[in-house]
Chain A
Amino acid sequence: MKQEFKIISDLIEKNTRVLDVGCGDGILMEYLKYNKEIDIRGIEISKDNVQKCLSKGLTVIEGDAEKDLLQFPDSSFDFVILSQTLQAFLNPEIVIKELLRVGKKAIVTIPNFGFWKVRLHLLIKGTMPITKNLPDEWYNTPNLHMCTIKDFYNFCENRRIKLDNSLALHNEKISSINKLNLNIKNLSAELGIFLIES
């Protein structure tokens, strides 16, 4: 399991109710279900992935988070996970709102567009950056709203969304993000992991 999922799973308490939004083929769901006795549900847009999840016995519905989160009542989950998908939505702001409505807390991870390699790529090559976390070309990327760790941090502060935990991930190493080191982390981290609540 990738480091990001280990960190996410550490942020989640045992025996809770969790919704994994954009759960993919269910690797994180399986881990949480069997290692942390979590009552876990998933929502996923790809039919193939949904079929894989159902085959593994995971409770997953096919759906689009931008439309289908509506069916879940307020605070019906202790945690809602959104892993590296925020940038692919038409309206990330509404999705964040929905995550915080459906979940008491949300864990959002974002590929950091402020990472130095990304900046350098654009600066030196002058073409849209392609990295490990951003492997697609500009014309076929599903990412519509790329943001940086700093963007997301500021977004939360402006919207009075509580940042319970902000973590930076680089080369499998985790570190804490705070106001003082925000600029450094925004340059040095590939991935930002945020535990937020409204």
Chain B
Amino acid sequence: MCADLTELRALKKPLNKFFSLTIQIWLIFMNKNVNIKNIIIDKPLKLDCGKTINNYSLAYETYGSLNEKKNNAILIFHALTGDQFVSGINPITKKEGWWSYAVGLGKAIDTDKYFVICANVIGGCMGSYGPSEINPDTNKKYGTTFPVITINDMVNAQFNLLSFFNIDKLFAVIGGSMGGMQTLQFVNNFPDKAKVAIPIACTASHSAQNIAFNELGRQSIMADANWENGDYSNQNKNPNKGLSVARMAAHITYLSKNGLQEKFGRKLQERDDLKFGFDADFQIESYLRYQGSVFVDRFDANSYLYITRAMDYFDLIKEHHGNLSKAFEKTKTKFLIISFTSDWLYPTSENKEIVIALNAIGAEVGFVEIESDKGHDSFLLKVPKFLNTLGDYIKTAYSKN
């Protein structure tokens, strides 16, 4: 499984007082050694759950280079099942990075111009402090003894990247879905640390429907006998079936009814007629099973529990006692909010709530709903109107930087 860490510690010079050491860790992943960059953060972080963590790992990747003025850095926040490998070939999956359509040479987020940073969230399973890491106190993997983390915790952990790279102010913070939530939380926590914020297809408060879908995924994992109360990796087991069903259910929520109908309809899977059984007769069944099966190869079931929990707990409106505007009162950050017509998971109405809160305090906010039948996943896919708007907006904002 993910993040079977054996630390081959190659000590480097500390770059900053908070980082007593930087190490290179190797992920033994599907029997392949993969070099993953990470920093060990030597600055205590008080989590929302009350626990304080220290000397924790944050795995990251960068693209492009930081200019002399250090004003071209973009911090990208990943979504639930994303990781730090935004663009290029992901060294673990050997597939294109999760946002290759938007990030890369000549793309909307042009790595020739900008210095792009992305870190694996804490709670994740791609080298950052997460439930599949070894607890130094017990020498066993954390499993469900890992503390419950929040979007706020994830953002506070990633904020350390600024001092690590000696960046005073980011040019932009950008993210879709859970990445969008982190973007909002970032500006709330650090109102003067980003010039531009682009939260995409997200919400300021996780809805009952979103919590319900996440709960479905978690229950599916926990119903797998191999989950072993979260201790599966110490027992060399894996709740693959549960995790795979969780992914299948979630995957449906990322697509739209029309999108599915158009792509699959009632097409049959390599057969001329129905087989009167429970094999995958339909292409959509086969497609979902495939999505589930490849997901378990790259994702940790406990991470799925922890990250979905963090999303459920996200409620920036409650944090400000019902007045979302208060979250952005102190900021001069310029916002661009983007939603998609067929996204029913984080619908336009929820994105618009953020726009309304920003307009209520005279903040600078642009907003557009992009026409797309690709559902919530639109932000990850080749949707030219979205990519062009994003790219042009960033380019213009940067030229006035």
Question: Interface on A for B, CB 8 Å cutoff?
Answer: 17, 41, 47, 50-51, 53-63, 71-73, 76
Q: Is the CB of B368 within 8 A of A51?
A: yes
Can you give 10 contacting A-B residue pairs, CB < 8 Å? A50-B368, A51-B368, A56-B396, A57-B397, A59-B364, A59-B365, A61-B366, A63-B367, A71-B360, A76-B362
Q: A54, B359: Cβ atoms under 8 Å?
A: no
Tell me which residues across on chain B come within 8 A of A51, comparing CB atoms: 368, 385, 388-389
**Closest residue of chain B to A69, judged by CB?**
B359
**Further 10 A-B residue pairs, CB within 8 A, beyond A41-B364, A51-B389, A57-B397:** A47-B385, A51-B385, A56-B396, A57-B393, A57-B396, A60-B368, A61-B367, A62-B368, A71-B356, A72-B360
- Contact residue range for chain B? 20 to 34
Assembly CA distance A8 to B364 (angstroms): 23
Asked if A55 and B355 sit within 8 Å, CB to CB, the answer is: no
In Å, the complex CA distance between A73 and B360 comes to: 6
Contact B385 A59 (CB under 8 A): no
- B275 adjacent to chain A (CB < 8 Å): no
On whether the beta carbons of B359 and A55 are closer than 8 Å, the reply is no
Report the 6 A-B pairs with minimum CB-CB distance, sorted nearest first.
A57-B396, A55-B392, A61-B367, A71-B356, A50-B368, A71-B359
Measured CA separation A53–B399 after assembly (Å): 16
The answer to the question of B334 belonging to the interface, with a C-beta cut-off of 8 Å to chain A, is yes
Q: State whether A61 touches B389 (Cβ < 8 A).
A: no
B370–A47 contact, CB under 8 A?
A: yes
B369 close to A47 (CB less than 8 A):
yes
Minimum C-beta distance from A195 to chain B (A): 23
Whether B359 and A72, one on each chain, are in contact in the complex, defined by CB atoms closer than 8 angstroms, is: yes
Secondary structure call for the A interface:
mixed
**B356-390 vs A: 1/0 string, CB under 8 Å?**
10011010111111110000000000000100110
The answer to whether B336 has its CB under 8 Å from any CB of chain A is: yes
Chain B residues whose CB sits within 8 angstroms of the CB of A41 once the complex forms:
364
- CB closest residue in chain A, given B369: A62
Indicate if the CB atoms of A61 and B396 lie closer than 8 Å. no
Q: Mark B64-95, 1 if CB is under 8 A from A, else 0.
A: 00000000000000000000000000000000
Chain B residues within 8 Å of A61, by CB: 355, 359, 365-368
B400 within 8 A of A: yes
B388 CB contacts on chain A under 8 angstroms: 51, 55
B336 to chain A: which residues have CB within 8 Å?
A: 54
Q: A61-B359, A71-B355, A71-B359 are in contact. Are A54 and B364 (CB under 8 A)?
A: no
Nearest B residue (CB) for A77: B362
Write out the residue numbers on chain A whose beta carbons fall within 8 Å of the beta carbon of B360: 71-73
Bound together, the chains give a CA A113 to CA B389 distance in angstroms of 38
Cα separation A61 to B355 with both chains bound (whole Å): 8
* Residue among A53, A58, A62 having the largest count of chain B Cβ atoms under 10 Å: A62
B102 shortest CB reach to chain A, Å: 15
Expressed in whole angstroms, the minimum distance between the Cβ of A92 and any Cβ of chain B is 23
B326-358 to A contact mask, C-beta < 8 Å, 1/0: 000000001010000000000000000001100
Q: Whole-angstrom distance from the CB of B365 to the nearest CB of chain A?
A: 7
Could you say which residues of chain B place their CB within 8 Å of the CB of A60?
366-368
Contacts of B400 in A (CB 8 A): 57
- A58 touching B366 by the CB < 8 A rule? yes
A55 touches B393 (CB 8 A): yes
